[in-house]
């Protein structure tokens, strides 16, 4: 995994300064601490920060084709690169490295921008085609790896992270009001929108081509839930799913460095750790996060899997204060407001991975989205049942079965569940049915918005922002498939894979890999009959059937416990965190202008008095604090922070190219 950056100057084709490229890539050193590389051509510059995982000695980037007319900088992994390389060699292509990066170059020569259809991987890359004067940008199918861009002064700037773009003083650093409205509703910004005005994100499954200063963007992949598989026996479906996951794991273990695995104690990570064990002659190296608060802790289940597989295991235990202390770093890397503290323990866990000498970990992320593992899918099914039978005596029993963890949670209750199921869904498209209660709960946090922010948002309908993300065939899907599609297009790409995934791992130079997000696995699951994804209220039914002989029954049959971390309570302790009081002060809030100081003061008082908080207050506190941190770090104090980073940056150009 790596960091990339680049500049394409407009029709003037003014040379790109090496100093500009060094500044852009220097702030991404955490993504690639092993060395930097540069390419400078006519009006174009590419930069790369390398985390060496494949072809440790020869894979330095930028990489070129045989006649040096096509160049690439690449962030990610192509897991089927060996098979692609073999096919390309037969077609006459000549390779000078053993890297997966070079495969993309020759694949582009052979197929042009359609090369992305051949890639099994997680990627964001930029190809400069000198002959066509074409810049080609691409991002993987579900947005595992990030890619941002902006236009300023006739130049197109792009990079793996927004902070890289901000090293150019021409790029303004302003938080976009519409972005706040989206986050405080959907938990994420809707691509191409980012948290910052004028900065855009290439959406998942999209490519961009800039040729002779004409820019076009196109979608090359989208989840398709049309059921086109011929009917088969349940056991046959289960066998194929297992075979696909096994092969996906095999491919994702390809690396020239050791590979570990995350182990949460849940089904998904346990499955992946088990499959990794199939390909290892030594104990699998596993890593877990635990919590001092037992309401969030799963160490008992983790230990069961460790004992069952005999893994070489390490874990960290997070306290609320640990989370509060690390939260500013989380926002620096996330580059957007967030409503939960859940990313923070994952950043601390990736630090443990790196300190243990590992650069790569496999995780179970993605299973819940493709196999209907979340409560949100069951909730929608129950709401439809209760709407048909509002006086049903089964209501309390259903809620207890759906939320067995509520009794231990300090912020949830069955009463919450009752209120949740009475959510008003009128005024929303039918396809949004499953998500409306979540959005309605979240949007209540906007009560803390300031009058100026509300005025700036007057007349803005954030639901319209979702329209470009959604395929026209969405209304044709069954209810479960609609909910899964929406979850993949919003929360998976816009929050889980970035704020909890790429950014938290790469903060410590660790690459996460996700076998459940192999496109073959996803496409197989999308085409399954809905009843095999969720049978009655049994989530991930087919997955459980396919692996039931591999894991203890206590793991395969346990009710899913959503991954959560202490939220508002993490910021208020006997020993206060200085930044919290500062950012929530009336002076700072008025100066930033996003939130009502009086309302925030009442919320902060409630938190300091350790009163039990509901969903709205917890999300509001975290959202307000993360927004203020974002403003502090990127709007007010970016220049001095970057200046310090550049001053500490060691000159390192182990591979540099000048053209």
Kind and range of the H or E run holding 157: strand 155-159
Task: Report how far residue 178's alpha carbon sits from residue 337's, in angstroms, rounded to the nearest whole number.
Answer: 12
Identify the CA nearest to 480 among candidates 533, 439, 523: 533
* Radius of gyration of the chain from its Cα atoms, rounded to whole angstroms: 24
Are 617 and 568 in contact, with CB atoms under 8 Å apart?
A: yes
| Helices within 457-511 (DSSP H only) | 462-466, 479-487, 503-506
Please give the backbone phi and psi of residue 62, each rounded to the nearest 5 degrees, phi first.
-65, 150
Burial 85-112 (b: 16+ CB within 10 A, else e): bebbeeeebebebbbbbbbbbbbbbbee
Token pair for 288? 């877990």
- Pairwise CA distance, residues 2 & 25, whole Å: 10
Question: ∠ at Cα 468 (470, 437), nearest 5°?
Answer: 55
Distance CA 497, CA 365 (A): 8
Q: What is the DSSP string of 384-445?
A: HHHHH-TT-TTHHHHHHHH-GGGGG-SS--HHHHHHHTT---TTS-GGGTTTHHHHHHHHGG
CB–CB of 190/447 below 8 Å?
no
- Identify the burial level of 458 via C-beta atoms within 10 angstroms of its C-beta, where 0-12 means exposed, 13-18 middle and 19 or more buried: exposed
Query: Which residue bears the tokens 């009081």?
Result: 581
In whole angstroms, give the CA distance from residue 503 to residue 552: 33
> From the candidates 2, 115, 498, 607, which is the catalytic residue?
2
Distances (CA, A) of 359 to 2, 62, 256, 505: 11, 21, 10, 9
Q: Say how far apart CA 222 and CA 151 lie, in whole Å.
A: 27
User: Which residue in this structure is represented by tokens 């979850």?
Assistant: 487
User: How many Å separate Cα 313 from the centre of its chain?
Assistant: 25
The 3-state DSSP class for residue 147 equals: coil
CA atoms of 160 and 61, how far apart (whole Å): 15
DSSP single-letter state for residue 495: I
Whether the CB-CB separation of 56 and 363 falls below 8 Å is answered with: no
- Is residue 2 flagged as an active site residue? yes
Q: Count CB atoms within 10 A of the CB of residue 221.
A: 17
- What's the CA gap between 137 and 39, in Å, rounded? 16
Cα-based angle 82, 84, 89 (whole degrees, multiple of 5):
95
Distance CA 272, CA 288 (A): 14
Residue 312 pairs in a beta bridge with: 285
- Rounded Cα distance, 462 and 189, in Å: 10
| Token pair for 111 | 């197929």
596 burial via Cβ count (<10 Å: 0-12, 13-18, 19+): buried
Question: What distances in angstroms separate CA 600 from CA 45, 448, 581, 622, one per listed residue?
Answer: 45, 7, 11, 11
Which residues are known to be catalytic? 2
């Amino acid at each position: 995994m790596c960091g990339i950056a680049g500049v394409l100057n407009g029709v003037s084709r003014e040379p790109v300064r090496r100093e500009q490229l060094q500044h852009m890539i220097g702030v991404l050193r955490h993504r690639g601490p092993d060395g930097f590389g540069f390419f400078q051509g006519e009006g174009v510059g590419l930069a790369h920060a390398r985390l060496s995982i494949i072809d440790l000695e020869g894979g330095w980037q930028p990489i070129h084709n045989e006649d040096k007319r096509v160049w690439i900088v690449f962030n990610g992994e192509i897991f089927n690169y060996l098979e692609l390389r073999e096919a390309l060699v037969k077609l006459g292509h000549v390779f000078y490295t053993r890297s997966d990066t070079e495969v993309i170059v020759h694949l582009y020569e052979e197929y042009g921008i359609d090369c992305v259809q051949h890639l099994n991987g997680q990627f964001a890359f930029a190809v400069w085609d000198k002959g066509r004067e074409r810049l080609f940008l691409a991002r993987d199918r579900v947005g595992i790896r990030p890619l941002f861009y902006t236009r300023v002064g006739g130049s197109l700037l792009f990079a793996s992270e927004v902070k890289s773009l901000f090293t150019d003083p021409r790029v303004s650093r302003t938080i976009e009001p519409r972005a706040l409205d989206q986050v405080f509703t959907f938990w994420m910004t809707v691509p191409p929108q980012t948290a910052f005005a004028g900065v855009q994100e290439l959406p998942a499954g999209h490519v961009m081509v800039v040729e002779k200063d004409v820019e076009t963007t196109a979608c090359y992949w989208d989840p398709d839930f049309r059921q086109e598989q011929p009917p088969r026996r349940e056991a046959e479906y289960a066998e194929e799913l297992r075979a696909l996951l096994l092969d996906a794991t095999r491919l994702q273990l390809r690396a020239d460095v050791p590979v570990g695995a995350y182990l949460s104690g849940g089904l998904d990570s346990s499955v992946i750790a088990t499959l990794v064990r199939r390909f290892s002659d030594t104990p699998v190296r596993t890593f877990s996060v635990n919590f001092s608060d037992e309401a969030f802790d799963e160490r008992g289940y983790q230990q069961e899997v460790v004992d069952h597989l005999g893994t070489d295991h390490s874990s960290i235990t997070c306290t609320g204060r640990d989370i509060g202390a690390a939260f500013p770093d989380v926002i620096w890397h996330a580059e957007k407001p967030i409503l939960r503290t859940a990313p923070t323990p994952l950043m601390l866990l990736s630090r443990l991975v790196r300190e243990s000498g590992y650069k790569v970990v496999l995780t179970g992320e993605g299973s819940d989205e493709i196999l209907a593992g979340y409560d949100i899918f069951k909730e929608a099914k129950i709401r439809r049942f209760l709407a048909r039978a509002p006086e049903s005596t089964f209501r309390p029993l259903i809620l207890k079965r759906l939320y067995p963890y509520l009794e231990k949670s300090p912020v949830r209750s069955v009463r919450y569940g009752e209120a949740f199921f009475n959510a008003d869904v009128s005024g929303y498209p039918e396809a949004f049915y499953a998500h409306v209660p979540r959005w309605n709960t979240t949007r209540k946090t906007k009560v803390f918005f300031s009058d100026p922010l509300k005025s700036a948002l007057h007349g803005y309908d954030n639901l319209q922002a979702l329209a470009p993300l959604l395929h026209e065939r969405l209304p044709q899907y069954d209810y479960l498939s609609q909910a899964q599609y929406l979850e993949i297009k919003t929360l998976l790409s816009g929050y889980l894979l970035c704020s909890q995934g790429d950014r938290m791992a790469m903060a410590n130079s660790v690459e996460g890999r996700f076998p459940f997000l192999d496109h073959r696995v996803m496409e197989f699951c999308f085409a399954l009959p809905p009843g095999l994804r969720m049978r009655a209220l049994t989530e991930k039914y087919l997955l459980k059937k396919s692996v039931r002989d591999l894991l203890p029954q206590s793991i395969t049959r346990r009710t899913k416990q959503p991954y959560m971390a202490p939220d508002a309570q993490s910021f208020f302790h006997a020993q206060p965190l200085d930044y919290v009081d500062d950012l929530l002060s009336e002076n700072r809030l008025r100066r930033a202008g996003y939130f009502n100081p009086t309302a925030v003061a009442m919320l902060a008082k409630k938190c300091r008095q350790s009163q039990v908080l509901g969903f709205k207050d917890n999300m509001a506190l975290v959202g307000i604090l993360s927004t203020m941190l974002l403003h502090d770090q990127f709007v007010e104090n970016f220049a001095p922070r970057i200046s310090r980073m550049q001053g500490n940056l060691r000159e390192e150009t182990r591979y540099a190219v000048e053209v």
